[in-house]
A and B are shown apart, each in its own frame.
Chain A
Amino acid sequence: MAQKENKTNPNGSVDSRTTLLEVTDLKMHFPIRKGFLRRVVGHVKAVDGVSFSIQKGDTFGLVGESGCGKTTTGRCVMRLLDPTDGQIVYYDREEGPIHIESLEPTEMRVFRRDMQIMFQDPYASLNPRLTLRQIVGEPLIINKVASGKELDDRVAELLRSVGLSPEYMNRYPHAFSGGQRQRIGLARALALNPEFIVADEPVSALDVSVQAQVLNLIKDLQEEFGLTYLFIAHNMSVIKHSCDHVAVMYVGRIVEVAETKELFRNPLHPYTEALLSAIPNPDPRQRKSRIILEGDVPNPARPPSGCYFHPRCAYAKEICSQESPPLQEYAPGHSAACHFAKELSLTGVL
């Protein structure tokens, strides 16, 4: 079984935990077609060379603004999209490293028992014509894990584990609120005892008081079932609260990766600094002037030259518009893609 020692954790000591998922140079380019012959006239580079690895038992956060490619990355990892290029290696508990990107559909189906996804929109991700028993039980039936009485018992157990009463089993999704629907989505994801769950904006559609309930539940289930999460979100406070490590994405690329606290305390990339500065602070006594970025996120079909962030970056110099900076490690476990990561002293929020 191929296992990789994690290099070092932020304290500098060797971490005994193992890598569960390793993504290398992942690319997802969507063709733009035009005209009668639907000729390809260009590509939207939604994900353009993303690399990261997730340790077993960790919650790995992907954060960025809309259109930065975080959801596309999550979907490529699940093979809901077929990536254009790159490697996605999953270190299976029994079978060792598996190259997800080259699995045949039939193999992938077996493999999806280990990896599940929960979606952002609780109103669109549950089939309104199916009862909870059918929704939560579907993965069990498809994989021939359970049937009949056993199936009912398992569905009841799953509903209980996400805090719903098993009596609801015969109801349809319309009878439930947003928070309850996210719980149903979680129960469905848990049905086959996965090791790894992609949580794509699990709380962004929820009210504040319900958001807290679902975040706690996600955390509790991680402890109970030893889950590893890829946690996709745009809310920095939620990321700070839930994740062990964070990767910040901008126009299809990762611009910075670090352990959560380190990233919030010592950002190395100017975009991370601006993102952190933009977080509204729920304390009126701490109003401060923010870094206001000029303009908008560029169109991923026509990204700027050099570093994609340079037209909005306050620290940009000549080289930034010419050369694209590679993602480099500047401190143990802390990497950034900026030509001046060493020289700049940026402000964090902690």
Chain B
Amino acid sequence: MADNQNTILQVENLHTHFFTESGVIRALRGVDFSVERGKVLGIVGESGCGKSVTAQCIMNMLPGNGRAVEGKISYYPRESIGSQTEKVDITGLPPRGKAMRAIRGNEIAMIFQEPMTSLDPVYTVGSQLMEAITLHQNVTKQQGKEIAVDALAKVNLPEPARIFDAYPHQLSGGQRQRVMIAIALSCNPTLLIADEPTTALDVTTQAQILDLMRALQEETHMSIIFITHDLGVVAEMCDDVAVMYLGKVVEQTTVDAAFHSPQHPYTRALLRSIPRLTDENQTRLDVIKGRVPDPSVVPPGCAFHPRCPEVIPGLCDVHTPEVIKLGGGQEVRCLLYDDKLMAQSPTRTALAESR
């Protein structure tokens, strides 16, 4: 997969630990996924599964007590298309080094969840935009301002020249998120990481922002990693989906397969647990029993086994599932698809029949 010309980012076996006073927290326990050039990859999962930590690793901006202890993130820069690829190993770069700074905010940009807190309240929108532009592009102040006002106009903000001089508190939540997108896109990134960009917004504002992001993606052909917990948003926005559970990707596949033929029991259970408009009123929802465990005490074997409706005792709590490639590019981490182990299991035939 790494040799694929179309891959822009490849994450392999990424382990990230946080070293805290009360012990080591294994936030990522071997994350694998890849992002195709010009495609939108959705990363879904519940809180605490490591979605945001993955984004921080890609941007190489983990908090002080966090470290990527194993695995690598390969980024294939835009110049590499056509010519023999010169990939960059992001995990190997010092976070504050020149090489990383040339990538961060320039080639890989990020928008954050909280439009209220991710803009600095004491600087105008314009100066925050100019900061990104003058840092990465060799332009005069005047040219920089033109680029900035253009960027604000591009995200459909009314009166961009006025917004340029406004402070964040003078804008609404939706407008702030547009400013965040303008900052992120001001340097024409090849990869955009959007970490829950619409979670804090109202439904109609969310529809505006999603619409804008889709239009900008079609225009610039950038790749997007779209992190969210809202399966509806994934279905709307993404081409591919990676489902995370407790620091691992348990299933990566196309958006159609994820919603219409999900293979991992967690993906299936998640899809069953959301209320749908087409449901008969007030039917009971299917639930996933229990809750996401604390990442400091990860269950042995498959981490999902205590909550899994298809658990095989004696197998799932012992063996850690590897990535299994199914047809159509679907990849899943589940012992149910491990033919070798299943052959040894006494309950296999019964299960195979029920499946």
Using a CB–CB distance below 8 Å, which chain A residues touch chain B? Answer: 65-66, 177, 179-180, 207-213, 215-216, 219, 234-238, 240-242, 244, 260-261, 264, 274-275, 277-285, 287, 290-293, 296-297, 349-350
Find out whether the CB atom of A296 lies under 8 angstroms from the CB atom of B172.
yes
Contact A208 B206 (CB under 8 A): no
Q: How far is the CA of A241 from the CA of B278 in the complex (A)?
A: 9
- The answer to whether A292 and B271 touch across the interface, beta carbons within 8 angstroms, is no
Smallest Cβ distance from B282 to chain A, in angstroms?
A: 6
Given that A284-B255, A284-B259 are contacting pairs, would A207 and B47 also be in contact in the complex, using a CB cutoff of 8 Å? yes
Interface of chain B residues 202 through 240 with chain A (CB within 8 A): 202-208, 210-211, 229-236, 238
Known: A277-B207, A282-B271. A208 touches B284 (CB 8 A): no
Given the known inter-chain contacts A179-B291, A240-B281, please indicate yes or no for A65 contacting B202, CB distance below 8 A.
yes
| Complex-state Cα separation, A237 to B233, whole angstroms | 13
Further pairs besides A208-B46, A284-B238, A296-B205: 10, Cβ < 8 Å = A207-B292, A209-B288, A212-B285, A236-B277, A240-B275, A240-B281, A241-B279, A279-B203, A285-B256, A297-B202
Residues A212 and B287 in contact, CB atoms below 8 Å apart: yes
Q: Are A208 and B270 in contact (CB under 8 A)?
A: yes
Contacts of A275 in B (CB 8 A): 203-204
Contact B204 A293 (CB under 8 A): yes
Most A C-beta atoms less than 10 A away, residue of B232, B256, B277, B279: B277
Q: Is the CB of A280 within 8 A of B274?
A: no
User: Which residue of A219, A260, A264, A281 is within 8 Å of B284 (Cβ)?
Assistant: A219
B339 an interface residue at 8 Å Cβ cutoff?
A: no
Within 8 Å of chain A (Cβ to Cβ): is B62? Answer: no
**Known A280-B235, A281-B235; contact A242-B274, beta-carbon cutoff 8 A:** no
Q: Which residues of A contact B284 (CB under 8 A)?
A: 216, 219
B235 / chain A contacts, CB cutoff of 8 Å: 280-284, 287
B269 interfacial by beta-carbon distance below 8 Å: yes
Q: Kindly list chain B residues whose C-beta atoms are within 8 Å of the C-beta of A177.
A: 291
Instruction: Kindly state whether residue B165 has any CB partner on chain A within 8 Å.
Output: no
Most buried by B among A179, A240, A349: A240
Residues on A with C-beta less than 8 A from B208 are: 292-293
Q: Contact at A285–B260, with CB atoms within 8 Å?
A: yes
Chain A residue with Cβ nearest B207: A278
Q: In the docked arrangement, what's the CA distance between A287 and B238, Å? A: 11
Which A residues lie within 8 Å of B54 (CB)?
Answer: none
B255, A241: Cβ atoms closer than 8 Å? no
Q: Are A234 and B202 in contact (CB under 8 A)?
A: yes
- Residues of A within 8 Å of B271, CB to CB, are 282
B residues near A296, Cβ cutoff 8 Å: 172, 174-175, 205
Task: Give Cα A186–Cα B322 distance, bound, in whole angstroms.
Answer: 41
- Chain B's closest residue to A176 (CB) is B291
> In chain B, residues 159-198, which have Cβ atoms closer than 8 Å to a Cβ of chain A?
172, 174-175
B281 touching A280 by the CB < 8 A rule? no
Q: Which residues of A contact B233 (CB under 8 A)?
A: 280
Q: Residues of A contacting B274 with CB < 8 Å?
A: 208, 212, 237, 282
Q: Given A241-B285, A292-B211, A293-B204, check contact A280 B232 (CB 8 Å).
A: yes
CB-CB < 8 A to A349: which residues of B?
A: 277
| Minimum C-beta distance from B281 to chain A (A) | 6
**Do residues A284 and B256 form an inter-chain contact, with CB atoms below 8 A?**
yes
Looking at the assembled complex, report how far the CB atom of B163 sits from the nearest CB atom of chain A, in whole angstroms.
Answer: 13
Distance (whole angstroms) from the CB of B201 to the closest CB of chain A: 9
Min CB–CB distance A299 → chain B (angstroms): 9
- The answer for the CA separation of A115 and B204 in the assembled complex, in Å, is 33
Give the chain B neighbours of A274 by CB distance below 8 A.
Answer: 204
Sampled A-B contacts (8; CB under 8 Å): A207-B292, A215-B275, A216-B287, A236-B203, A236-B277, A241-B281, A284-B236, A296-B175
A212 to B202, CA, bound (A): 21
Q: Which residue of A lies closest to B307 (CB)?
A: A209
Q: Which of chain A's residues have a CB closer than 8 A to the CB of B203?
A: 65, 234-236, 275, 278-279
Chain B nearest CB from A124 CB (Å) reads 17
A233 to B266, CA, bound (A): 27
A285 to B259, CA, bound (A): 9
A211 contacts which chain B residues (CB < 8 A)? 273
A280 CA / B202 CA spacing, docked (Å): 12
Contact between chains at A66 and B277 (CB < 8 Å): no
CB nearest neighbor in B for A213:
B287
| Nearest A residue (CB) for B158 | A295
The CA-CA distance from A208 to B260 in the complex, in Å, is: 19
| Chain A proximity of B257: nearest CB distance (Å) | 10
Q: Which residue of B lies closest to A236 (CB)?
A: B203
A163 to chain B, nearest CB (A): 11
* Complex contacts, B174 vs chain A, CB 8 Å: 296
